[in-house]
């Protein structure tokens, strides 16, 4: 490897990390970190299985190495786990982030409404129900999806049933 760096044109090496001292230092560190018990090949063998690991001989010409890689990719398909995040994945992750932000805002609003109700000294079931309705009303329409609407409707129906049952008991 050191010889390959030395074989480069001087213009290509000037001002880069490809000097003799740097190469010796990095090779020493590489050899210290990649022992027989712990090396890159073993890491990937454990992670993705030995049948998916290609060991490349660096003395072979680059064209031969690329040919072997192409052959394996054609047999097994695209490699996984190599920055293959799609637009759909990004959309899903953005949805999770928006949901977390929405929940945090709703919690903050509920706590503020509860603090205001506690300050007035009148914590009643009807007051908490109207406080919850106020929190729901503050959310923008685009944040409320169908599932949220269904849950809110079911909660309102359950509260109404409970209120009617209490009234019929009295």
Residue 156 to residue 119: CA distance in whole angstroms: 26
Q: Could you tell me the pLDDT band of residue 160, with boundaries at 50, 70 and 90?
A: very high
State yes or no: pLDDT of 80 exceeds 80.
Answer: no
State yes or no: pLDDT of 10 exceeds 80.
Answer: no
- Residue 54 tokens, joined: 């290609």
pLDDT at 82: 55
Residue 128 to residue 168: CA distance in whole angstroms: 21
- The alpha carbon of residue 118 and the mean position of all alpha carbons in its chain are separated, in whole angstroms, by 39
Residue 44 in any domain: the answer is: no
pLDDT at 157: 92
pLDDT at 125: 47
- Residue 157 tokens, joined: 């129906």
Residue 70 to residue 133: CA distance in whole angstroms: 60
Residue 86 in any domain: the answer is: no
Residue 21 in any domain: the answer is: no
Residue 114 in any domain: the answer is: yes
The string of DSSP letters for 98-130 reads HHHHHHHHHHHHHHHHHHHHHHHT---HHHHHH
Q: How many structural domains compose the chain?
A: 1
- Residue 53 tokens, joined: 């690991």
Residue linked to tokens 């072997």: 68
Q: In this predicted model, which residue has the larger pLDDT, 96 or 126?
A: 96
Residue 29 in any domain: the answer is: no
Q: pLDDT tens, 35-76?
A: 777 777 888 888 888 877 888 888 888 888 888 888 887 887
Residue 121 in any domain: the answer is: yes
Q: pLDDT tens, 134-144?
A: 555 555 555 56
Residue 81 in any domain: the answer is: no
Longest dimension (CA), the chain: 96
Residue 153 in any domain: the answer is: yes
pLDDT at 134: 55
Range of the domain at 157: 103-169
């Amino acid at each position: 490897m050191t010889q390959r760096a030395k074989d480069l044109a001087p213009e290509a090496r000037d001002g880069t990390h490809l000097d003799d001292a740097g190469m010796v230092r990095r090779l020493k560190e590489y050899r210290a970190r990649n022992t027989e018990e712990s090396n890159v090949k073993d890491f990937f063998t454990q992670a993705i299985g030995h049948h998916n690991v290609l060991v490349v001989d660096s003395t072979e010409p680059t064209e031969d190495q690329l040919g072997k890689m192409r052959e394996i990719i054609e047999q097994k398909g695209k490699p996984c786990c190599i920055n293959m995040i799609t637009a759909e994945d990004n959309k899903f992750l953005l949805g999770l982030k928006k949901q977390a932000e929405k929940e945090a805002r709703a919690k903050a609003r509920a706590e503020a409404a509860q603090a205001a109700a506690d300050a007035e000294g009148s914590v009643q079931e009807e007051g908490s129900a109207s406080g919850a309705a106020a929190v729901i009303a503050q959310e923008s329409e685009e944040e409320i999806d169908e599932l949220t609407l269904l849950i809110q409707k079911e909660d309102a129906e359950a509260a109404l049933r409970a209120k009617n049952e209490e009234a019929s008991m009295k």
